[in-house]
Amino acid sequence: MRIGILTYHTPCNFGANLQAYASYKYFTSLGIDTWIINYSLLSDKSYETAVESQKEAHWNFSQSTLRVTRVVNNDSLLDLVREMNFDAIGVGADAVWNKRVVDDLRVFFCDWLFKSDLKNKVKVFALSPAFMGQTYSDLPLDVKKDFKSALEQFVYLDARDQWTVHVVNQEIAGYELIKNVNPDPVFLLDKFVNVEWEHPDSVLSKKYYLISLPRNYTKSLGFLKRFWVKRLTSLLHRRGYQLVEIPTPDGTSGIKSDYILPYPIDPLQWYLWIKNAKGYIGIRFHAIVSSLSAGTPFLSLDTYGKVDSKKDKIFSYLGFHKNDHDINKSSKIRNLIDGSGLERCRINGTFIFMVSPRWIINLIESVDLELIRRFREKNIGKFEYNMGEMIKNVREL
């Protein structure tokens, strides 16, 4: 069987690269002839803001580490599928059902395929696609209709989180079209990383905490933020740890740490820095999934989703995180860890500098590593079962 994976694999985003890598490695480990469809997004804003050397690192990773087809766009995609003679196309993972650019959205619900002569020749399945905690309420009616028609022709449907299941069923299908949540493939990543960790001798394994904050984080309220980091660093030093900043692709935060990973950063090395840390404190969804895959305790500084009321906003901004249970229902971090026993490892990240550094360190040091292991294995087992069912569906039809 030959499959093509249609996903976000080239953006200047570590998580996007690694979910494509984990998906590719998983299917090839089953002996399936697997390719990443080298689709070029119409709008990829990550390249507008990323550090120049980091842009090249992401592109090189996607082209050299993955088995990719020739580069295609909307006009040449159908010709490529004919040329490659795929038996099936997997859509996802990542937020490929984002409505930001409608023509890209059409690509990822395979409208172009189902309206062609390949409709009954190439099977299409979902591979943990997601939608970034938004709604489809303002999507044009004709696009909604085509979206629904296309999804009804998938031979296997799932989504990465409960929020995506909810919005597709309610705002696109009008009934329970998607029934299954399928974990992110990055849960499997640790099985497939076989490169050496590259680090300076001054940074020893498990002797540092990682922190990742937005670019130019200290641009506003800089004094308060720098003071907070200074307190955090001082407490870590007393316990024998260093503070290492792992910057985002678009720049460093402006804080003062013991060591800042220099650009360019290879995505697999990014993962290994998380794996070898005592703990991770920071932003981004796939950093948290990578922590779970690697068995690293974490504190998610969650800035995803929306807060439903002014009262909840005030509670959250003031750091009363125990009152955070009923807000950010669309947050992909909340969707990820709800019911896992790790809910306390997620707080609203907007005003992290108001939270006690001592509380953060004590929280991370108290995380039950066995709980992380069980949660990871549960998600790996669910992913492998779901994909087994998908493969049976593809082969039987």
What's the domain count of the chain? 2
Burial of residue 347 (CB within 10 Å: 0-12, 13-18, 19+) is buried
**Same domain flag for 121 and 211:** no
Peptide bond into 214 cis (omega under 30): no
Using the predicted structure, report yes or no on whether residue 147 has a pLDDT greater than 80.
yes
> What's the confidence (pLDDT) of residue 324?
47
> What's the confidence (pLDDT) of residue 28?
98
Identify residue 377 by its one-letter amino acid code. E
**Same domain flag for 29 and 137:** yes
Using the predicted structure, report yes or no on whether residue 367 has a pLDDT greater than 60.
yes
344/367 Cα distance (integer angstroms): 9
Tokens of 392: 């049976």
**Same domain flag for 222 and 361:** yes
Strand order in the sheet with 2-6: 33-36, 2-6, 88-91, 123-126
**Same domain flag for 9 and 131:** yes
Whether 373 maps to a domain, the answer reads: no
Whether 372 maps to a domain, the answer reads: no
pLDDT in tens, 19-55: 999 999 999 999 999 999 999 887 788 888 999 999 9
Whether 258 maps to a domain, the answer reads: yes
Q: Is 348 or 12 the better-scoring residue by pLDDT?
A: 12
| Contact partners, residue 98, CB within 8 Å, separation at least 6 | 104, 105, 131, 132, 134
Whether 245 maps to a domain, the answer reads: yes
> What's the confidence (pLDDT) of residue 323?
41
What distances in angstroms separate CA 386 from CA 41, 155, 169, 175, one per listed residue? 28, 13, 19, 21
3-state helix, strand, coil in the chain (%, to 5): 45, 15, 40
Cα Rg of the chain, angstroms: 21
Whether 371 maps to a domain, the answer reads: no
**Same domain flag for 273 and 169:** no
Q: What is the mean pLDDT of the chain?
A: 92
Question: What backbone torsions phi and psi does residue 4 show, to the nearest 5 degrees?
Answer: -115, 130
- Grouping H, G, I as helix, E, B as strand and the rest as coil, residue 369 is helix
Question: What backbone torsions phi and psi does residue 27 show, to the nearest 5 degrees?
Answer: -70, -35
pLDDT in tens, 262-277: 999 999 999 999 999 9
Residue 325 pLDDT class (50, 70, 90 cuts)? very low
149/223 Cα distance (integer angstroms): 54
Taking the CB of residue 78, how many other CB atoms lie within 10 A of it?
16
**Same domain flag for 229 and 311:** yes
> What's the confidence (pLDDT) of residue 100?
85
**Same domain flag for 262 and 214:** yes
Whether 71 maps to a domain, the answer reads: yes
Provide the phi-psi class of 370: left if phi over 0, else alpha when psi is between -120 and 50, else beta.
Answer: alpha
Tokens of 10: 């080239």
**Same domain flag for 175 and 322:** no
- Find the mean pLDDT for residues 247-270: 96
Q: CATH code at 341?
A: 3.40.50
- Give yes or no for a contact between 7 and 93, defined as CB atoms under 8 angstroms apart: yes
**Same domain flag for 260 and 315:** yes
Whether 133 maps to a domain, the answer reads: yes
Using the predicted structure, report yes or no on whether residue 397 has a pLDDT greater than 80.
no
**Same domain flag for 242 and 126:** no
**Same domain flag for 101 and 222:** no
| % residues pLDDT > 70 (the chain) | 94
pTM to 2 decimals? 0.93
124/201 Cα distance (integer angstroms): 48
| % residues pLDDT > 90 (the chain) | 80
Q: CATH code at 136?
A: 3.40.50.2000
Tokens of 73: 């766009």
| Contact partners, residue 134, CB within 8 Å, separation at least 6 | 98, 99, 167, 330
In the beta sheet, which residues pair with residue 248?
Answer: 251
Place of tokens 């974490």: 298
pLDDT in tens, 191-220: 999 999 999 998 988 999 999 999 999 998
Using the predicted structure, report yes or no on whether residue 228 has a pLDDT greater than 80.
yes
**Nearest of 318, 341, 316 to residue 329 by alpha carbon:** 316
**Nearest of 95, 262, 294, 269 to residue 191 by alpha carbon:** 294
Domain containing residue 145:
2-190+378-396
Helix locations, 42-172, DSSP H: 46-49, 52-64, 77-84, 102-108, 111-114, 141-151, 162-167
Residue 101 pLDDT class (50, 70, 90 cuts)? confident
- Find the mean pLDDT for residues 327-349: 87
Whether 276 maps to a domain, the answer reads: yes
Using the predicted structure, report yes or no on whether residue 328 has a pLDDT greater than 80.
no
**Same domain flag for 178 and 219:** no
Tokens of 105: 């959205």
